[in-house]
Amino acid sequence: MGKRKSKAKPPPKKRMDKLDTVFSCPFCNHGSSVECRIDMKNLIGEALCRICQENFSMTVTALTEPIDIYSEWIDECERVNNVEDDVA
């Protein structure tokens, strides 16, 4: 008679690193001055610079992260700059 084979334990799940909530401002270029907040009650995400008081708001979903709000703000800035370049 032989021994029963023991079940191998599954590998531990990798813990996801936390994403940043503080970024550099695209207007004043001050590092770590833009803070992103998500209000799930009102479904509003806001990015606000503590130095130059620039802000950006957008609607959010349950999957939205602070980096998504900041990235959307940067994309919107680029869109506005491209439209101004096309007109000029």
The reported pLDDT for the residue numbered 8 is 85
**Residue-by-residue pLDDT tens, the chain, 88 positions:** 667 777 888 888 888 777 777 899 989 998 889 999 999 999 999 999 999 999 999 999 999 999 999 999 999 999 998 987 776 6
Distance CA(52)–CA(28), nearest Å, equals: 7
One-letter amino acid at 78 equals: E
Walk me through the domains of the chain, giving residue ranges and CATH numbers. Answer: 32-75 (2.20.25.190)
